[in-house]
Chains A and B, each alone.
Chain A
Amino acid sequence: MPAWLGHRSLTLIVLAAIVVLLPLGFPSSYYFRVASLVWVSAFAAVGLNILMGQAGQVSLGHAGFFGIGAYAVAIGPAHVGLPSWGALLIGAVISAALAWLVGRPILRLKGHYLAIATLGLGVLVALVITTESRWTGGPDGMSVAKLSLLGWRATGSSTWYWITGGVLVAGTWIALNLGETPTGRAFRALHDSEVAARVAGVDVARFKLQAFVIAAVYASLAGSMLAMMNGFVNPDQAGFLHSVELVTMVVLGGLGSVVGSIVGAAMLITLPQVLTVFQEYEHLLLGLIIIVSMIFMRDGIVPTVSRWLAGRVRT
């Protein structure tokens, strides 16, 4: 195998191949829609995994940034006359700025305290969205203008399938890049021992903040994409349950594993669709599946399975 075709390139090629080939088996546009939802959530999860899996800092309010991105593309065109893509960028900038401002004080906290502080941040964003109904439509949500670029309008599930799939591949590329750079090593080092990282000269506060801002931008972009794809936003997208869902994707797939986050997102989005045949037992089954996978695959699905495969190859 040539050197450039390392683990990283292989992962990307496989992911791109899946995105390209998957539609061949799609019988209806409904499948395009579900797959796009997977790509959007996976993109947010891949970003959150940089914060949680690499740098080891939890965020229970990440849907707040998702919501900011979503409402930016709703409010920007409707109230300010911005083009959608401009609103998307502004949403990302606002999310980054908020993460940077709030991250400075709260990332000093550890463990449960950090969890609660980030939870508070998420709740706050959701609260603002719900109460500022003049701008946001309040609890009912609001409709979102279609994305248009140079006269071309993005509509239809298959168009959004390709946009979200492409963006996911790009986001995965960046996340994979980061792992083996001075920044990525600093993230992983402070995750394992803050004391040793500091003694090695790593400015722990700065790198935690960087990871938080990166993850916030990912979530914001995912929120913008989902809003434009749906043509509609509501406050639930910024809500606590959505934050928990994002964390679940990351943990279920495997903390620190980029592929894991994609697998986790795919499971959490597609399982409810599959389980609808069980009607009222749907949620019960989803919960059970999550519990059982965490019991038997503590490190997450992808790390556990790849270790298992490596073991088989060796024996």
Chain B
Amino acid sequence: MTILTASNIGISFGGIKAVDDVSFSVDAGRILSIIGPNGAGKTTLFNVVSGLYVADRGHVELMGEDVTGCAPEALAALGLSRTFQNLQIFQRMTAAENVMVGRHLRERCHLLSDLFRLPSVTRQNRATREAALALLDEVGLRRRADQLAGSLPYGACKRIEIARALAAEPRVLLLDEPAAGCNSVETEEIDHLVRRVANKGIAVVLVEHDMKLVMKVSDRVLVLERGRPLTEGTPREVRDNPAVLEAYLGKHGARGAARA
């Protein structure tokens, strides 16, 4: 089943087309990777799809519903979750609390009950915390649950973001460079994690510079170059496409790499 479809997305900043006529779609349980050199427009595309930017052109469909221009909180309610390339964690909250915020839409939130902390609130808090701890366990951070997120290393924060995004029980998860700043062991863990997420039936869109990871986990790969789609296909097709190599290395480098 197709979960997320973006068609003909276009957005420019001050005359520069950051994203220009890009389309993709992703099915439940599948992993689509979006790759491309720095500045290709990958993050911008995520920002459009997740409702942080309003596109100049194009449409976004979530679960068959037109959600073009919807606010992020509305998209979250429809099952879209994401992480950020530049960390966006809640620094002054603990790791567990960060993930608990991820369950915001799964919780009953009523001001008066909260002010007087009725027994139902306490009960719900306990359940939310249990769920958060289970997710922290899944990303290997259970031990750090009660530490302030702001005091944790970069790689841990990246994984808190993934746990927080998963806490919402999304239908589609957008991951913006989850392996950035991770060592090879941690990258391996991200690899397994992404597969586990997909196996649960969640559609995954992955932006990542680590080609080994991309080639291993992706069902399909979309390549962007300077805002435009360059090619799309299976990891093998994309790897063997000389135009992709050229986009990454420039004409000169591509010829050199082909000879090597």
Contacts and interface: CB of A to CB of B under 8 A. Distances in A.
A315 interface: no
Contact of A195 (B52, B81, B102, B121): B52
Interface in B99-126: 100-102, 104-105, 107-109, 111, 113-117, 121, 124-125
Contacts of A200: 76, 81, 101-102, 104-105, 164, 168
Contact of A189 (B101, B113, B125): B101
Interface stretch (A136-144, A146-154, A174-182): A174-182
A75 B104 CA distance: 43
Contact of A186 (B109, B121, B168): B109
B155 interface: no
Interface string B163-177: 011001000000000
A174 B84 contact: no
A188 B88 contact: no
A202 interface: yes
B114 A201 contact: no
A256 B148 CA distance: 15
Contact of B93 (A182, A188, A198): A188
A185 B73 contact: no
A193 B77 CA distance: 19
Given A178-B114, A180-B125, A202-B104, A188 B92 contact: yes
A178 B107 contact: no
A294 B84 CA distance: 34
A204 B90 CA distance: 14
B73 A204 contact: yes
A120 interface: no
B82 interface: yes
B115 A185 contact: no
Contacts of B114: 177-178, 181-184
Nearest to B90: A192
Interface string B53-90: 00000000000000000011100110001101000111
A146 B53 CA distance: 57
A177 B107 CA distance: 17
A49 B113 CA distance: 20
Interface in A239-257: 256
Interface residues of A, number: 28
A186 B104 contact: yes
A133 to B, nearest CB: 37
A287 B105 CA distance: 46
Nearest to A199: B72
A132 interface: no
Interface residues of B, number: 39
Contacts of B124: 182
A202 B101 contact: yes
A199 B50 contact: yes
B101 A181 contact: no
A3 to B, nearest CB: 10
Contact of B117 (A181, A197, A198, A201): A181
A193 B160 CA distance: 14
A304 to B, nearest CB: 15
B90 A189 contact: yes
B105 A199 contact: no
A173 to B, nearest CB: 9
B116 A256 contact: no
Nearest to A192: B90
25 contacts: A178-B115, A178-B117, A181-B113, A182-B108, A182-B124, A183-B115, A185-B93, A185-B104, A188-B93, A192-B89, A192-B93, A195-B52, A195-B72, A195-B88, A196-B161, A199-B52, A199-B82, A200-B81, A200-B101, A200-B104, A200-B168, A201-B105, A201-B168, A202-B101, A210-B111
Interface of B: 50, 52, 71-73, 76-77, 81-82, 84, 88-93, 97, 100-102, 104-105, 107-109, 111, 113-117, 121, 124-125, 128, 161, 164-165, 168
Given A181-B113, A198-B72, A200-B105, 20 more contacts: A174-B115, A177-B115, A178-B114, A182-B114, A182-B121, A183-B111, A185-B93, A185-B100, A185-B101, A185-B104, A186-B101, A186-B109, A189-B90, A192-B89, A197-B101, A199-B50, A199-B73, A200-B81, A202-B104, A256-B92
